[in-house]
Amino acid sequence: MRLLRTLLGDWPAYLWSGWGALASLLLLFAGWQLAAEHYGSLVLAQPLEAFASLGRFWAEGSAVQELAITGRRALSGLALALLIGSALGLAAGVSMTASMMSRPLVTVLLGMPPIAWLVLAMLWFGASDGTPVFTVFVAAFPVVFIGALQGTRTLDGQLREMARTLHLPPHLMVLDVYLPHLFSYLFPAWVAALGMSWKIVIMAELLASQDGVGAALAITRSHLDSAGTLAWVSAVVGLLLAIEYLLLEPLKREVERWREPS
């Protein structure tokens, strides 16, 4: 509750600090505009054309609908990866043997291209939600797992000894000692996993689903609709930016308040 209150309280100041970020985004749009003018609308639609298409999708109601479907799939896969990856990574980090055994397995998982998982998932789950959710999970899992594993292994041994002499029960050991330290490793991993999950869910939908943003992209591609394609891309990227900067970043600042210099 206190967390929520300070989060909301710090928001205006935080948003005000976003002008710099906004300026760099506008520069990107300017570059996009230049490229579009140079190559013509068929190859690269102008930003305003893309936004107009997005407005049309929005008015039709398809934007919200498709984004909701895609969001649900990406977030379910991501949530699974975060939960299972963090828990297993923590467990593996506590035991030397487990971390040594899991490292090569995770490297294999990391090296496996998501598209290969997608093909397998299509065989296993068909055209259901299972295909994109599984692909997202399996791609995001190793990233989160490695973060949790490294965080756990780097906990200061002196603090662990201190906690042992205080006879801290196991659940407090996790909550008060491991998790706060782990957070600075987990958080970047979670952000990376979030970005991956959006990219991969759209790829999976493009190839294996009848609905969602990926499927909508497949349709705009078949119509050679450059403005429509870019409209979907901007919607997805915009949503990702909003989640990261409006939700995750303020959360991180609050949880990591102890790092601030006096």
If you search the block for the tokens 């102008």, which residue do you land on? 46
Q: List for the chain the helix, strand, coil content (%; round to 5).
A: 85, 0, 15
Tokens of 230: 């870019």
User: Dmax of the chain from CA atoms?
Assistant: 70
Tokens of 69: 């479907």
CB 183 within 8 A of CB 97: no
For another protein, the closer of residues 150 and 234 by Cβ is 150
Shortest distance in whole angstroms from residue 258 CB to another protein: 4
For another protein, the closer of residues 164 and 221 by Cβ is 164
Q: What is the CA radius of gyration of the chain?
A: 22
Shortest distance in whole angstroms from residue 176 CB to another protein: 7
Q: Which residues in 154-213 contact another protein (CB under 8 A)?
A: 158-159, 161-162, 164-169, 172, 176-177, 180-181
For another protein, the closer of residues 17 and 158 by Cβ is 158
Shortest distance in whole angstroms from residue 145 CB to another protein: 23
Tokens of 213: 């943003």
Shortest distance in whole angstroms from residue 250 CB to another protein: 18
Shortest distance in whole angstroms from residue 165 CB to another protein: 4
Q: Residue 84 and residue 78: Cα distance in Å, rounded? A: 10
Q: Residue 178 and residue 141: Cα distance in Å, rounded? A: 20
Task: Report if residue 10 touches another protein, rule: CB under 8 A.
Answer: no
Q: Which residues in 90-129 contact another protein (CB under 8 A)?
A: none
Residue ranges binding another protein (CB under 8 A): 158-159, 161-162, 164-169, 172, 176-177, 180-181, 257-259, 261-262
